[in-house]
Structure 1
Amino acid sequence: NLNPLILFPSLSSSILPLCPNSHPSPPPTPAPLSLSSPSDVSPWDVALCVTGTLISCENALVIAVLFYTPTLRAPMFILIGSLACADLLAGLGLILNFVFTYLVKGEVVTLVSTGILIVAFSASILNILAITVDRYLSLYNALTYHTERTVLFTYLVIGLIWLVGLILGVLPALGWNCLDDETTCSVCRPVTKSNAVALAIFFLLVFAVMMQLYLQICRIAFRHAQQIAVQHQFIAISTTKGVQTLSVILCAFAMCWLPFAMYSIVADSSYPIIYTYATVLPVACNSVINPIIYAFRNPDIQKGLWLACCGCVPSNLSLRPRARTSSDV
């Protein structure tokens, strides 16, 4: 059982026997590592902490640009901001996990760190789903999208997303944990095996819905291309680019999350810790990729970044607001 997060303090029990200076004899129960020597610090934990720092910096930049740019108040930008907040919380959770693992020990901090990470990653996944639905509606109801998709409705959706994340995050603190019975632990201590399986199935359902929506988006885009014969060349190029973008988004999401979801279903705390680290790190990397896919590619956010950094906008970025396309988020 691994400890790439404080989600995984049980991993330290597998590492301690390799560090003879840590304890004269193996402890009766898993405990976080102590910093008795530099060799006690797992390089995997360092990698997760560094990844968390990168996640925090990226998403803090996105939030700052959205907050200080008055023109970025449309529903799609609000959803991007909510996703950035979730990923920022995930990055801070990874940093806190490192601190809690090596400097602060106890069941309370374990449950706190676990709750933060569950809230953050659950909200991140649900925000990605909401962005996918938003993209689908912008194509399916292209003529009425801007009148039906109000800011108030978007805030209600975001509130529901964070409510679900908070409910999932407090479950371990309410007793849904394996602190009293280590044999029931999943690869993510102190989450129980049954709860980990439920969360993994929840992710797989979200992924299935996203895949279906992206298929519908591709069909709508190609149908529009066929209906507009006058602009056939332009639409064909735009549609091809949009489909390629959607494929990259879906593949990136799948590669980051599917290994961990499947591993959580088949494995438990008795499996080698290296497997947990190897599947958790891509999950963290998804929060690194999200700002690139959903924020930094958007021309309107690019303009905000240029204005914030140097007070100017490159000639290839028009100051005029653009219409949204199927390749935008």
Structure 2
Amino acid sequence: MTNLTMDGCPPNRTVKFYYEASGKNINTFWRKRDYVVVTLGMTVCIIVILSNLLVMGAIFKNRRFHYPIYYLLANLALADFFSGISYLHLMFHTGPWTIKLSIEQWFLRQGLIDTSLTASVLNLLAVAVERHQTIFNMQLHSEMSTRRIFVIIVFIWLVSIILGLIPSMGWHCLCDLKECSTMAPMYSRSYLVFWAILNLLTFSIMVVVYTRIFLYVRHKSQQMSQHTSELRHRETVVNLMKTVSMILGCFVICWTPGLVVLLLDGLGCDECNVLRYEKYCLVLAECNSFVNAIIYSFRDKDMRKTFKEILCCLCNRKSNRGATSEVHFTNTEHEKSKLHIARRREQLNGTPLLRDNMENASTSEGS
């Protein structure tokens, strides 16, 4: 990538050079604030990774979740899991460590975050389309085949990876310092504008789709009779819609401030002081990756039950191992007792004693 990105540019330019040119300072030493940020960031990343692993395991473990909507939610958890990995990688390449990065490593760091966000956005859009299709057809679950869902998931990740690689493939400012942004000193301002507007438009489309769905469900629920089966079906649809809408709402709340700040930076708003809000927007966006698991836990009883089964699985295995070792201990004591009796018989030339028989009998009863 070096020959492609640096072709025609002055040689020996480093990450530090671009940061200083854009006005974004990097500390060369560790401050208490840096230690606190990295420690908290790594803690959140570990929570994100473990919680989304739990969500994916629950969806694939419970047969009740083997439907297109839950496969898409599992892919959303995969995107959040990948986001946790991306932020964990960022924690090990931030602060004073940033100066030591090569240009390729810096693009990799940013590309991982861009890919995870794009995957989440596209996945939420796929969920919105799936819910629109099923609810307007008066269905609880889509009739799409597993193969089609797999194709959609692969398409989501291909597009996400491509959008994450675009800056390193040429849409950057390595050869034009005037176009460099402030928050991402090697990204072109035009790319930030494109990326922010694209995601904000996607958010808007999803909000419109869900608003239309809610209005339709509300209208249909008023027309339904009071039959028990219809009421249960309506409650199930509404509960699932509420869960998905909460996920979308939290995503929009957590990511919109960051995208707005990126858009302002891309538009060259020097009075906006985007660097002042950068850290807060980053933390807010990172927190979104484990909010979904909390929503699953509180909104879905089956999901919550499956979570408990998975978490208790290791405890049950440990207790089974303990029980096995206890039986082994009892058998060992029994064998020692029998060996002791046999030795005493050998000492008495094989003549059994009443006491030996009593010990043998008591040992048999104990076993």
State if a TM-score over 0.5 links the two structures. yes
> What SS does the corresponding residue of 2:187 show, helix, strand or coil?
coil
1:40-66 Cα distance to aligned partner (Å, 9 max, x none): 726445444333222112112222333
1:139-167 Cα distance to aligned partner (Å, 9 max, x none): 11234954x32111111111111111011
1:187-238 Cα distance to aligned partner (Å, 9 max, x none): 2343221111111111111111111111121122112212213249957877
1:257-313 Cα distance to aligned partner (Å, 9 max, x none): 2212222122258635221122222222221212233576333322321222235xx
The correspondence for 1:127, drawn from 123, 126, 129, is 123
User: Is contact 1:32-1:105 (8 Å) kept?
Assistant: no
Residue 20 of structure 1 aligns with which residue?
A: none
- Equivalents in 1 of 2:23, 2:180: separation in Å? 13
Residue 112 of structure 2 aligns with which residue?
A: 116
With over 3 angstroms needed to count, the CA separation of the structure-2 counterparts of 1:201 and 1:295, relative to structure 1, is: farther
Residue 136 of structure 1 aligns with which residue?
A: 132
Structure 1 position 31, deviation (Å)? 7.5
> What SS does the corresponding residue of 1:97 show, helix, strand or coil?
helix
With over 3 angstroms needed to count, the CA separation of the structure-2 counterparts of 1:28 and 1:287, relative to structure 1, is: closer
Residue 144 of structure 2 aligns with which residue?
A: 149
Residue 174 of structure 1 aligns with which residue?
A: 169
Structure 1 position 172, deviation (Å)? 1.8
The correspondence for 1:275, drawn from 262, 274, 277, is 277
- Equivalents in 1 of 2:146, 2:154: separation in Å? 12
Residue 310 of structure 1 aligns with which residue?
A: 312
Which segment is superposed worse, 227-236 or 104-113?
Answer: 227-236
The amino acid that maps onto 1:129 is: L
> What SS does the corresponding residue of 2:184 show, helix, strand or coil?
coil
Residue 47 of structure 2 aligns with which residue?
A: 54
The correspondence for 1:224, drawn from 220, 223, 227, is 220
The correspondence for 2:154, drawn from 144, 154, 159, is 159
Residue 292 of structure 1 aligns with which residue?
A: 294
Which segment is superposed worse, 207-216 or 37-46?
Answer: 37-46
Residue 22 of structure 1 aligns with which residue?
A: none
User: Is contact 1:80-1:294 (8 Å) kept?
Assistant: no
User: Is contact 2:264-2:274 (8 Å) kept?
Assistant: no
Residue 89 of structure 2 aligns with which residue?
A: 96
User: Is contact 2:69-2:127 (8 Å) kept?
Assistant: yes
Structure 1 position 70, deviation (Å)? 5.1
Q: Is there any run of 5+ residues in structure 1 with no aligned partner, and where? A: 1-8, 15-26, 312-329
- Equivalents in 2 of 1:28, 1:171: separation in Å? 21
Residue 199 of structure 1 aligns with which residue?
A: 195
1:78-122 Cα distance to aligned partner (Å, 9 max, x none): 111211111111111111112122445221211111111111110
- Equivalents in 1 of 2:159, 2:236: separation in Å? 36
User: Is contact 1:90-1:117 (8 Å) kept?
Assistant: yes
Which segment is superposed worse, 239-248 or 173-182?
Answer: 239-248
With over 3 angstroms needed to count, the CA separation of the structure-2 counterparts of 1:243 and 1:76, relative to structure 1, is: closer
With over 3 angstroms needed to count, the CA separation of the structure-2 counterparts of 1:181 and 1:99, relative to structure 1, is: farther
User: Is contact 1:33-1:40 (8 Å) kept?
Assistant: no
- Equivalents in 2 of 1:295, 1:155: separation in Å? 25
1:25-44 paired onto structure 2 within 5 Å: 33-34=27-28, 36-39=29-32, 41=34, 43-44=36-37
1:239-278 paired onto structure 2 within 5 Å: 248-268=246-266, 271-278=273-280
Aligned residues: 290
The amino acid that maps onto 2:260 is: M
Which segment is superposed worse, 275-284 or 230-239?
Answer: 230-239
User: Is contact 2:296-2:303 (8 Å) kept?
Assistant: no
- Equivalents in 1 of 2:192, 2:124: separation in Å? 21
User: Is contact 1:114-1:190 (8 Å) kept?
Assistant: no
User: Is contact 1:214-1:246 (8 Å) kept?
Assistant: no
Cα RMSD, aligned residues only: 3.4
Identity of aligned residues (%): 25
User: Is contact 1:123-1:165 (8 Å) kept?
Assistant: yes
Structure 1 position 252, deviation (Å)? 2.1
- Equivalents in 1 of 2:67, 2:102: separation in Å? 44
With over 3 angstroms needed to count, the CA separation of the structure-2 counterparts of 1:57 and 1:190, relative to structure 1, is: farther
With over 3 angstroms needed to count, the CA separation of the structure-2 counterparts of 1:161 and 1:287, relative to structure 1, is: same
- Equivalents in 2 of 1:143, 1:28: separation in Å? 53
The amino acid that maps onto 1:139 is: I
Matched, 1:81 2:77: no
